[in-house]
Structure 1
Amino acid sequence: MTVSDPDWPASPFDAVDAAFTALTTGPAPMTLDLDSLGHDTGLPAGVMALPALRDWLLRRPDAYAARDAVWRELVRRARLDGPSWVIAAVAMAMPALRRHAGHLRAGWSGDADDLDAEILTGFLTALRDHVDLAKPAPHAALCMAAWRAGHEMLRRTGPAVPVEDVEHVTGPRTPHVPYGHPDLLVRRAARLGLLEHTDLDPYIDLRLGRRAIEPIAARLGITVDALRKRMNGIDERIADALAKGLLTSVVSPAARAQLQNQAVHRERTRAGRATTTSGPAAAAA
């Protein structure tokens, strides 16, 4: 059965389950090597098929270390190893997603498939970008993002306000104008030398776009830890510059020269590390 078959499930959740079944049966089912996920996780030893692993986790709701280890690997693979792992990650979370959908559908007369699709979209968005694998409980964060997406859909499709009653609606009826333009401040920081121009797009993607760090680090050819350290250094320099008013007022020639000298020093330090240290972590500065 393929996506183009008339028998392919119309329900988004059922379609994920069907695709997962296809990926985890046959001569080469998708598996995880649990030995590679670290020690002291409480996971069984060896290689386990994903459906069996899902069942193992469902039977052990208090196995927090095991769940975190499995989900960090699932998210990492979904971000770096292609669509099959995206489907696998969604299917591994399907029991929780179906439970959220059931709760949200209570008292709602809309199309169940539309709500399920919105929940799935929220999960996929968090899976692609928003869940930080350096924090605990990635599975809970993904499922909460899915629930929020479904809840927001219900809020948007709530009772309409009749036109004749619009004057009695409390609260502002005009959109709020956002204060400031963070992307412009970051670009000005780059012009002042607070971050290298090669770091500008990664910084905007990570800090303003809330994109996932793993694909960006892979694209730059450095480790996630190295990129995280680099971004944290930029955070500190931008915060210091904001506190001194360097990004929101005219910068004196002396201050500009000092910032440029510091940028040159950082660039030379990074270049020196790259030439004396092997491996991608060399460019972390």
Structure 2
Amino acid sequence: MSANTRPAAGQLAEHPGARPGAALLDAIEYRFRLCAEGPQPQAVDGRQLGHGLPNRRIPLPELAAILMHPSCGTAAQDAAWRFLVIQARTGAERWIVGVVGVALPGLRHRAHLLSKLSSGDLHAALVEAFLKALNKVDIDQPGIVNALLNAAFSGARAALREQEPAASGEANFAPGSALPPAPYGHPDLVLARAVRLGVLTAAEADLIGTTYLEDTSVTDYAARTGLPRWGVYKRRTAAVERLVAAIRAGELSDPTADVIAEATLRTAPDPAPGRP
């Protein structure tokens, strides 16, 4: 399969086990898991990637878990994602499914955010935008996965916005007569900007976004990542202090920064932390 015949989002979901009406991301995960089964699962060579990754072949589902863990450094993340994007650009369908599979945690997070802003087939729009971003993302710059996910979010939001008048039965006016889009991005994009500028690490941005902007307590986050709850509190406090200082200094100049600043003054309901 050539790079010009990259499958569409709907084609990625086609498999014998797909249930009628199953969510697209669930269907893609099914195919992703199948690729990792058998005596020769789809994998990357950690010895070639380096940067502290295991010195062996790493099945893609395991790689996804490693890249999500807060202990995984940005250099390792970029090395892995650079390799994955290069493989996907060959047009090989198994690698396209593999790349989307590794990105599923981030795509699910963006889908959750998108569901608060848009209606329609947001999963399909998100995956389509992600596939387009694979050909455009600069793999020589740091923060490859964040760039991919941000492009997918923005592209999906734009596509869904275009569909909204037709879906609601309203007249589809000429572009010049329509109201312009809101002059701000999403708070998640501000966190991504903070990562690009070195204010936060990718893990710290995920911690802040998950525990402040979603319905996840620090206790739940600690249980999910296997980290001590008190350690998560300390890490989040330090990251929030740097983020708020950058916002107040104008380093992250954007109207959405106010939303982040307001959110970081609140905490998700959680028991008072106790030292172990």
Range of TM-score over shorter length = 0.5 to 0.7
Counterpart of 1:240 in structure 2 is: none
Cα 1:173/1:96, change in 2 over 3 Å: same
1:154 deviates by 3.6
CA distance in 2, matches of 1:162, 1:18: 37
Whether the 8 Å CA contact 1:78–1:85 is kept in 2: the answer is yes
Counterpart of 1:52 in structure 2 is: 62
CA distance in 2, matches of 1:80, 1:58: 25
Counterpart of 2:132 in structure 1 is: 125
Cα 1:106/1:46, change in 2 over 3 Å: same
Cα 1:8/1:66, change in 2 over 3 Å: farther
Cα 1:162/1:35, change in 2 over 3 Å: closer
Deviations 1:95-152 (A, max 9, x none): 01011111111264x34xx11000000000111x101222222111111111012211
**Given the alignment of the two structures, is residue 63 of structure 1 paired with residue 70 of structure 2, yes or no?**
no
CA distance in 1, matches of 2:72, 2:17: 40
2:41 partner letter: P
Relative to its length, the structure with more helix (as a share) is 1
From 137, 140, 146, give the equivalent of 2:143.
137
**Given the alignment of the two structures, is residue 150 of structure 1 paired with residue 164 of structure 2, yes or no?**
no
1:9 deviates by 6.5
Q: Secondary structure at the match of 2:89?
A: helix
Whether the 8 Å CA contact 1:8–1:15 is kept in 2: the answer is no
Whether the 8 Å CA contact 1:19–1:87 is kept in 2: the answer is yes
Cα 1:88/1:8, change in 2 over 3 Å: farther
Whether the 8 Å CA contact 1:101–1:150 is kept in 2: the answer is no
**Given the alignment of the two structures, is residue 116 of structure 1 paired with residue 126 of structure 2, yes or no?**
no
Mean CA deviation greater in 2-11 or 145-154: 2-11
The gaps in structure 1 that reach 5 residues or longer are 175-285
For residues 1-285 of structure 1, what are the structure 2 equivalents within 5 Å?
A: 3-4=15-16, 7=19, 10-38=22-50, 41-60=51-70, 63-80=73-90, 82-106=92-116, 108=118, 110-111=119-120, 114-127=121-134, 129-158=135-164, 172-173=176-177
Counterpart of 1:260 in structure 2 is: none
1:66 deviates by 0.5
1:5 deviates by 5.2
The gaps in structure 2 that reach 5 residues or longer are 1-13, 179-276
1:157 deviates by 3.7
1:173 deviates by 4.5
Whether the 8 Å CA contact 2:18–2:27 is kept in 1: the answer is no
Higher Cα radius of gyration? 1
Identity percentage of aligned residues: 32
Whether the 8 Å CA contact 2:125–2:160 is kept in 1: the answer is no
Whether the 8 Å CA contact 1:42–1:65 is kept in 2: the answer is no
Counterpart of 1:200 in structure 2 is: none
1:10 deviates by 3.0
Deviations 1:53-86 (A, max 9, x none): 1111111266100000000000111112611010
Aligned residues: 163
Whether the 8 Å CA contact 2:66–2:72 is kept in 1: the answer is no
Counterpart of 1:194 in structure 2 is: none
* TM score, norm. by length of structure 2: 0.52
Cα 1:71/1:6, change in 2 over 3 Å: closer
CA distance in 1, matches of 2:71, 2:114: 22
Whether the 8 Å CA contact 1:34–1:43 is kept in 2: the answer is yes
Q: Secondary structure at the match of 1:48?
A: strand
Which structure 1 residue ranges, 4+ long, deviate > 6 Å from structure 2?
Answer: 160-163
CA distance in 2, matches of 1:51, 1:64: 19
Deviations 1:26-71 (A, max 9, x none): 2211111111124xx2222222111111111111266100000000
